[in-house]
Structure 1
């Protein structure tokens, strides 16, 4: 999910109605985007919730959330109570389907799971342009069909500019003449996921098991086991496939022509 590419209203669920408001805005390239903002700083005891649509998990165990937002400096707002905040909270809620309603799950920390309290690196005053902050958080392990994200405002003056949900993976690769498939990272940032390998065409195993480890950053680690080219084949110059031996290729090319064609050569 990436809210930056929304061409119509996001229409995420809010509670209460006087809290988060969806508005049109522009990104750094002046392209239109849909954003959410809230600024009830003059009223104490704020508890405003915003929940995304259902996000399918697609088999991954850990997801990452990139948030772009701006926050007004409380000190720059005159005549406000001491309850003004410059942070907001990020939660998620797992579900086996798109079952959430306007009242369920209830608008409170439990049954949601808190990911983190999000604070800006820079806030802005009335005379300054909004300073955009970017924060990335991750959570897992996930086990159900999908999840919702939720944002809780406790009295900030802020704009949630975009929300991007993604996962990390190790791309398909070839090592030691073995192919290892695309592999999603594990449930924890420090997890190592084992990917089994298979020899490339015209290669055979010389040590087993064939496996490669995918780390939490989506990078492959040192392979275990290897394959080698079978008789009559040799490694290609790029080292990722087995090709017919050069001498054998020459013999084949001559065999394609009658002997008379080579007289005088």
Structure 2
């Protein structure tokens, strides 16, 4: 009695995060399966077509009219690939015994599944009754059909198909195994047999990478998988591990990693470098931050933003603190011929430090160009001083009249000496008022006649302004004073 084939169905035996590795699938066979059957009139291999008109190989048996059936079917050798527990998905059809007349009690609607661990292929010459009567197979289960058929729709080639999954283990005695199917009097077809094992997929969790891991020998087994931190992440707690359960799902995470300094988390599985202009000072789940005021980072993955020239941080300051101080502000001057008073506002950013002070630098300039300026003489006086000022004012005296000066007011704190660059400063250019010039240092007689003479002289050493003219006085022998002016 031959049975028609069926339209194959699909069935998943993994939850959403499980992986399966197939080690045998009869649906992919392109030639005869070549399994061993005993006795010869028992299981029979036949060909058919699936719903996509692909050729598939199946086995069927239907010796229901003969009592005491004991038909064996042995698969080829299957390499277990280090798996300790194997799953078998069987798709089959069974004829309803009640629909077959005159079979009495010899008809069955079940079959038995066995396996045999071994390191080598069982010889095809094994055909003796003694072997099969005492075969060293281990029974997996007796499998019954959930649905049996009594009438076949030959036009649609459809029938009631059963899909059952069984597992067995632990496997440890051989590198592989054979499956064996025992028929005791059913009218059935093995339409597809798929053999597979489960494993937990590789995964990144808590910024740690866990490799693919085979499930354990029992369905309740938990297999420990050691993790390693992903690139640019560091351990938070050790050891880092996950447990792979019998269903191929990860569970019970222990330990974790987090992005190291200079890197921020992205989508929970990548640590990305902080872009230029940002930083992250410590390991953890925090994000990159913009550089604090008066600082910058010119590289990726910065852990600290360096202070700009003239700004500083103290040894106890945090990387998140701004760099201080900024320059003084709003300087005001009061100028006369030989002195100047300066007042200013404190810097806008002080970093809440209490050690702010000021230095006042003086330069005398011979033109409007800064490179023509030279430090002032030591004779210039500063009240109350020119360094370490606590107040925002200073009076500077003993200056030259009608002279250009540049004054630099520097803001200084306890960490200013950490930088090789000048402190933040505010500069002001002033010109002292005009004053009376100093005396002409010397006079020379150039020539003379009976009625005239010529004189020459150098300008005053300190003109203290623009010389408009010179006044010359002369006296005759009788002490009468006369004078005239000569333009300068």
Give the alignment's TM-score, normalised by structure 1.
0.90
Structure 2 residue 159 is matched with structure 1 residue 130: yes
Q: Distance in 2 between matches of 1:115 and 1:28?
A: 31
Give the structure 1 partner of residue 299 of structure 2: 252
Q: Distance in 2 between matches of 1:109 and 1:218?
A: 36
Alpha carbons 1:71, 1:130 under 8 Å: kept:
no
TM-score (norm 2): 0.50
**Aligned-pair CA distance for 1:151:** 0.2
1:122 touches 1:133 (CA, 8 Å); kept in 2?
A: yes
Identify the residue that residue 53 of structure 1 maps to in structure 2: 76
The 1:113–1:87 alpha-carbon spacing in structure 2 relative to 1, beyond 3 Å, is: same
Q: Deviations over 1:206-249 (max 9, x none)?
A: 2111100011111111310011222211212x111211123159
For 2:137 and 2:183, locate their aligned partners in 1 and report how far apart those are by CA, in whole Å: 15
Write out per-residue CA displacement over residues 39-62 of structure 1, whole angstroms, 9 at most, x where no aligned residue: 111110100000100000100100
Q: Which has the larger radius of gyration?
A: 2
Shift of 1:145: 0.3
Q: Say whether residues 1:63 and 2:51 are aligned partners.
A: no
User: Does residue 254 of structure 2 align to residue 231 of structure 1?
Assistant: no
8 Å CA contact 1:41, 1:84 repeated in 2? yes
Determine which structure has greater relative contact order: mean sequence separation of CA pairs < 8 Å that are 6+ residues apart, divided by chain length: 1
Which range moves more in the overlay, 19-28 or 182-191?
19-28
Distance in 2 separating the partners of 1:193 and 1:109: 36
Structure 1 residue runs without a partner (length 5+)? 254-265
| Structure-2 residue corresponding to 1:156 | 186
Runs of 5+ in structure 2 lacking a partner? 1-23, 280-287, 289-296, 301-488
RMSD: 1.8
3-state SS in 2 of match to 1:222:
strand
Q: Deviations over 1:133-169 (max 9, x none)?
A: 1000000000110000000000011111010001111
Aligned with residue 240 of structure 1, among 269, 280, 300: 269
* 1-structure distance, mates of 2:152, 2:47: 21
Residue 3 in 1 paired to residue 26 in 2? yes
| Separation in 1, partners of 2:191, 2:134 | 23
How many equivalent residue pairs? 252
Give CA deviations for 1:16-57 in whole Å, capped at 9, x if unaligned.
Answer: 001000011223444321110001111101000001000001
In 1, the alpha carbon distance for the partners of 2:211 and 2:152 equals 53
Which protein is richer in helix relative to its size? 1
- Residue 208 (str. 1) matches residue 233 (str. 2): no
Select 1:90's aligned residue among 113, 117, 122: 113
Structure 2 counterpart of 1:24, from 28, 35, 47: 47
Number of the residue aligned with 1:115: 140
More deviation, 103-112/24-33: 103-112
SS at match of 1:4: helix
Check whether the contact 2:152–2:159 (CA below 8 A) recurs between aligned residues: no
